[in-house]
Amino acid sequence: MKEDVVMTLLRQVQSGEISVEDARTALDGAALTREQLEAAVDHGVFNEPAPGTVVRASLSPHGESILILLVALWGVLWTLFWAGALAYGLINNWDQQLLSFNLGMVMLTLIIMGIVYLKYVLPDVVIVKHRGGKYITPNDPDKWKQYEV
């Protein structure tokens, strides 16, 4: 993806190199007409990319955050707790309502961990691939076989 002035400023603001006010001051004179904006949006949306192109949906978030590691650790510990309670309840013939609650909590914790993984760890990158053309053999009536039932 081509680095332009706006993307460079966004990265610098994100890393803390410059303040938001300084970035606004740098972009103070920049303006787009409605036609330029629509042309830019149409170019990014309606032009079909070439095969093998890497398309980024947005700036990919960082999965190295301490908060992400804490959520993962929290999820693993609670999943082990609820799964252990479920196994213990199965052995000791607990009521179905309590067993289903434990199973639901296991599934809910795994779903939360999956959502956090998809949102904050997995990068927003798509590699464009196009399907190849299908090869259809020509019909050759001489090779047909007549089957009698």
Residues 81-95, mean pLDDT to the nearest whole number:
96
DSSP string of 93-118?
T--HHHHHHHHHHHHHHHHHHHHHII
For 51-67, how does the pLDDT look when each residue is reduced to its tens digit (9 = 90+)? 766 666 554 455 567 88
Residue 117: band (very low, low, confident or very high) from pLDDT cuts 50, 70, 90: confident
Question: pTM value?
Answer: 0.47
Instruction: Reply yes or no on whether the pLDDT at 2 is more than 60.
Output: no
Instruction: Reply yes or no on whether the pLDDT at 93 is more than 80.
Output: yes
Residue partners of 86: CB distance under 8 A and separation at least 6: 99, 102, 103, 106
Instruction: Reply yes or no on whether the pLDDT at 141 is more than 90.
Output: no
Residues 91-103, mean pLDDT to the nearest whole number:
96
Rounded Cα–Cα distance for residues 127 and 114 (Å): 22
Q: Where are the beta strands (DSSP E) in the chain?
A: 54-56, 125-127
For 25-53, how does the pLDDT look when each residue is reduced to its tens digit (9 = 90+)? 777 777 767 777 677 666 655 566 677 66
